[in-house]
Amino acid sequence: MIYIVRHGQTDWNLLGKCQGWADIELNETGLQQAEELAQKLADVKFDICFASPLQRAIKTAKTIYKGEIIVDDRIIERSNGELSGRTDWREQGVNFNDPNENRFNIETLPVLQKRLDSFWNEVLTKYSHQNILVVTHAGTAMWSQVYFYGLPQGNDFSQYKLKNCEFLTIDNNIKPVGF
């Protein structure tokens, strides 16, 4: 089984700031969320754990999983370019779900999809019968669901967005739809 976890809360989450690749730490609530999630998942024996290289994901992973964590750049959050750290990013009219959108130097969807495709193809090939913990971010978790299930009904991506320290499970024997 694959467990995809979004990191715990940061101060930037509270402020509505666009994070992207900014390496923002968990706040006290985020640390508590990670502890609570660790308790919920205490009975799961994970065989392997992957985390984004950003500290908010690594700290969440270390709270849940006590073994070696494999840090993998392919599951870092989508780069938000010049929108990183801004609270007015919603007003900028950027369509993050448009494959051609690259204003403000955001990472394009084809680039994000290529790295997620590489990650998930490798994980499904090498670890098909193991319990896998993947600690990542809202955007990468959302597009990972697109990889497995296809676009959400009515293109309503909010269906795929995980809250802080929320997780989803995916059968690792699933045949993904792909991008």
* Catalytic residue IDs: 7, 77
Q: Are 109 and 101 in contact (CB under 8 A)?
A: yes
3-state SS assignment for residue 168: strand
Strands 167-170 and 2-6: antiparallel
Q: Are 60 and 26 in contact (CB under 8 A)?
A: yes
Rounded CA gap, 38 and 165, in Å? 10
User: DSSP assignment, residue 160?
Assistant: G
Amino acid in the structure at residue 163: K
